[in-house]
Homo-oligomer: A and B are copies of this chain.
Amino acid sequence: MTENTPDSPTPSRRSLLAVGGAGLALGAAAAGGAVALTRSGDGSDMAPAAESGGAVPFHGAHQAGIATAVQDRLHFAAFDVKTDDRDEFVQLLKDWTKAAALMAEGRPVGDGAYGGLAEAPPDDTGEALGLKPSRLTLTIGFGPSLFEKYGKKFGIADRRPAALVELPKFPGDNLERTRSGGDLCVQACADDPQVAVHAIRNLARIGFGKVAIRWSQLGFGKTSSTTPDAQTPRNLMGFKDGTRNVAGTDTAALDRHVWVSDAGWMKGGSYLVARRIRMNIETWDRTSLQEQEDVFGRDKGEGAPVGKAKERDEPFLKAMKPTAHVRLAHPDSNHGATILRRGYSFTDGTDGLGRLDAGLFFLAYQKDVRKGFIPVQRALSAHDALNEYIQHVGSAVFAVPPGVRDANDWWGRGLFAAKDV
């Protein structure tokens, strides 16, 4: 291995070092050009939607990627831990945090674009070089199995939050083990899919030997909006769903329904439920318009609740069939249970029978899954007319810690390093 000296004779070395500098300059320019977002400690961290291509601040009281205005694309990965060594795992969390902060600014991981040595593998895999930050957010979560399998080894057995429960088995669940669970997760959202894929790939690479991807999911179309002015995007059934989502600008609603307020390392964090929901597309597409609208409790064109004119009109639940999706999912039918949805549509080719393997990758954040997703899904899984056309095939739940406050902080510090944060 040669040293990284300025008079290295390798031509590619020199050009790469120059590129490394350009990469840093690009990152700085891109970050400077982004909408100036202020992330304060009060939860109002994402007031205006950043322009597409800009950078979303990585540091703050809450992790970005929850209240953040929903980006266009998703790469979600669940990891399993492969090391028994607490120090090694903590170092990984620190390394990941550093890389995530760089990538959120549109900068390559490591020291410049490709590190210093031509004889070493590049620090960054390179496919995002020259692309904008694209509002990349990276959001980490810890699964129940991390505490079950590594609680003693990592000294965190007594730190599992009471709210981090396994989800019960719901009627109709047809979960695949290879699409469920995970000791850790990272949600990467960005307006450019190559940026989201690059981020997960580089984190996986940094984690080589310490963690391994258990499953992952790409999402190509957002199905929820956290910005109340925007039109709700349509899901692959052609419907607007999740109209009354928690707005990322509504600090009171976030405090009430999304951010954990209990003292302890999860304060300022949230709980994430991920469900891969396969849609029986071909069956749905042969269903009458009337049946489709009855199933949702909305009209298909405008998205208005039954008997109403506009999508955002207050729904009159009793006008809907008792099995209508909107009626059953509404907070008024579930003792006020409210979740923040950030789901994405997926299409993963075709199954062995020529049918599209397509549906909704449902992501929901909440203060407590026992008062959020679980009661809502109990009602839906028992009664929802939509169940004839969908199937839950993947499931996971994660404790999503609070934000990384500054360059000295790291993902999971509250869990691993301090009894109070």
| Interface residues, chain A, with chain B CB atoms under 8 Å away | 10-12, 15-16, 18-20, 22-23, 73, 75, 77, 113-115, 117-122, 124-130, 178, 192-194, 197, 201, 204-205, 208, 212-218, 220-221, 231, 234-239, 281-282, 285-290, 292-293, 299-302, 304, 307, 309, 345, 347-350, 352, 354-356, 358
B349→A282 contact, CB < 8 A: no
Copies of this polypeptide in the complex: 2
Contact at A218–B347, with CB atoms within 8 Å?
Answer: yes
Q: Which residues of B contact A349 (CB under 8 A)?
A: 215-218, 348
Closest to A221 in B: B194
**A122 close to B238 (CB less than 8 A):** yes
A216 / chain B contacts, CB cutoff of 8 Å: 347, 349-350, 356
Q: Is the CB of B215 within 8 A of A299?
A: no
Given contacts A113-B301, A197-B220, contact A12 B213 (CB under 8 A): no
In the bound complex, CA of A151 to CA of B73 (Å): 43
Report chain B residues within 8 Å CB of A117. Answer: 288-289
Shortest distance between the CB of A352 and any CB in chain B (Å): 7
Report whether A197 and B358 are in contact in the complex, using a CB–CB cutoff of 8 Å.
yes
Q: What residues of B have a CB within 8 angstroms of the CB of A354 in the complex?
A: 212-214
User: In the complex, A191 Cα to B143 Cα: how many Å?
Assistant: 36
Beyond the given pairs A114-B289, A201-B281, 6 more chain A to chain B contacts, judged by CB atoms under 8 angstroms and listed by A's residue number, are A119-B289, A121-B289, A126-B239, A128-B234, A194-B220, A218-B349
Q: Provided the pairs A127-B237, A302-B15 are in contact, do residues A347 and B220 lie with their beta carbons within 8 angstroms?
A: no
> A341 to chain B: closest CB distance in Å?
17
Complex: chain B residue closest to A304, CB-CB: B15
The CA-CA distance from A12 to B239 in the complex, in Å, is 14
Q: Give Cα distance in the complex from A12 to B306, angstroms.
A: 8
Whether the pair B345, A290 counts as a contact (CB closer than 8 A) is no
In the complex the two chains form, is A307's CB within 8 Å of B15's CB? no
A197 touches which one: B75, B193, B347, B350 (CB < 8 A)?
B347
Task: Please tell me if the beta carbons of B121 and A204 are within 8 angstroms of each other in the complex.
Answer: no
A339 to B18, CA, bound (A): 33
Report Cα–Cα, A350/B214, bound state, in Å.
8
CA distance A133 to B161 in the complex (A): 48
Set B193, B301, B355, B358: member contacting A18, Cβ < 8 A: B301
A347 touches B301 (CB 8 A): no
Residue contact B301 to A114, C-beta cutoff 8 Å: yes
Q: Closest residue of chain B to A130, judged by CB?
A: B231
